[in-house]
Amino acid sequence: MKNFKNYLSCNAFTLAEVLITLAIIGVVAALTLPGVIQNHNETAWTRAQDLWEKKLTETVRRMNTDGVMTGHKTTEDFMDTFKKYMKVIKTCDNGDINKCYSPKVVTAGNEKEPIEVETNGLKTARDMGLKEWQTNTNTMSFVVADGTTVIMAYQPGMPLR
């Protein structure tokens, strides 16, 4: 009986104390998680954009070194050469862009924040929140091996920068 009295007098947390502590942790988590998730999404977006820019820069540099960057009459001609330098798994012309994109896409546009646009009406850069490409050839969409989807337009006679 003596041991049983000592057992009952032990210091311990009650169920109510544990539940209150869990409730406080839940409220704090609910307040902080949206910010953490948004920061993660912004970081992922920036990294993906940086990686694509590096891949594109390297591809253009290789094409320029090989002397095949210019001399194409249309975007389609340019894409035939471009596909030899970058692994393109799917191409779509301007008329069937939805075969390369989902019905809505997120684009950087000219805004600081990414914007969502519907792909079924995309015909020009302005439709994506960008400055006009000023090209007289069709645009083409393509998907590269890592899943990046891109819209490209080739302008014959445009000087290299």
The reply to whether 15 falls in a domain is no
pLDDT value of residue 28: 92
Q: Determine the structural domain holding residue 149 and report its residue range.
A: 33-153
Q: Is residue 23 part of a domain?
A: no
Q: What was the pLDDT predicted at 143?
A: 86
Choose the weakest-confidence range: 51-60, 113-122, 137-146.
113-122
Domain contains 110: yes
Asked if the model's pLDDT at residue 97 lies above 90, the reply is: no
- Give domain status of residue 3, yes or no: no
Residues whose CB is less than 8 angstroms from the CB of residue 101 and which lie 6 or more positions away in sequence, other chains included = 92, 119, 141, 149
Bigger pLDDT: 46 or 159?
46
For residue 159, being part of any structural domain is answered with: no
Q: 17 vs 6, 7, 10, 30, 31, CA distance in Å?
A: 22, 19, 16, 20, 22
pLDDT of residue 58: 94
Judge whether 45 lies within some domain. Answer: yes
**Residue percentage of the chain with pLDDT more than 70:** 74
pTM of the shown model: 0.61
At 129 the pLDDT is 63
More confident residue, 104 or 110: 104
In this prediction, residue 23 has a pLDDT band, given cuts at 50, 70 and 90, of very high
Summarize the confidence of residues 56-70 as an average pLDDT. Answer: 91
Q: Kindly state whether residue 78 falls inside one of the protein's structural domains.
A: yes
Question: Is position 1 within any domain?
Answer: no
Number of domains in the chain: 1
